[in-house]
Amino acid sequence: MTTPRFDELIHPSTRLALVATLAAADWADFAYLKDTLSLSDSALSKQLSILEQAGYVTTERRLDGGRRRVRAGLTDAGRDAFEGHVAALRAIVDGLRPADQELRAHEVKEDAVLRRVVGEDEEVLERLRDA
């Protein structure tokens, strides 16, 4: 299970969409990213540069039939950061922090033990829970 970690660098919507797109493939061509995300050349270059400086993205420049091609891919650190950020967003949406999830699991187990000992008598269960 991925540890939820909110990542301020990935969070802005343009970068989040970019990283999500890159997470779906090993590599993506600059032109594909530009079209898919509806970004200008300069806007996409800027976002890729920011993510590359953070170590989240790697870019490769090569010649293809006399034309310069650029493609980008997530690094392992970038993939980990994205997965942690998505897990943190899920926890927020679910209304739970990781510690709350553990507490909730403990409460469910405790309730199951009480039901085994006392049975299904809701009045007795409520008195024991309140104690």
What is the CATH classification number for the domain harbouring 65?
1.10.10.10
Same domain flag for 1 and 51: yes
Same domain flag for 115 and 58: no
- Give yes or no for a contact between 71 and 28, defined as CB atoms under 8 angstroms apart: yes
Name the residue range of residue 122's domain.
97-131
Pair of tokens at residue 78: 């970038």
Same domain flag for 35 and 52: yes
Give the chain's domain count.
Answer: 2
Same domain flag for 81 and 32: yes
**Measured distance CA(60)–CA(70) in Å, rounded:** 6
Same domain flag for 76 and 108: no
- Interval 22-55: pLDDT, tens: 999 999 999 999 999 999 999 999 999 999 999 9
Same domain flag for 32 and 73: yes
Same domain flag for 59 and 113: no
- Interval 80-117: pLDDT, tens: 999 999 999 988 888 865 556 565 655 666 666 556 65
End-to-end CA distance of the chain: 35
Q: How far is CA 37 from its chain centroid?
A: 18
Q: What is the pLDDT of residue 64?
A: 81
Same domain flag for 84 and 63: yes
Q: What is the pLDDT of residue 100?
A: 60
**Among 7-11, 53-57, 72-76, 119-123, the least confident range:** 119-123
Same domain flag for 59 and 116: no
Pair of tokens at residue 22: 């890159």
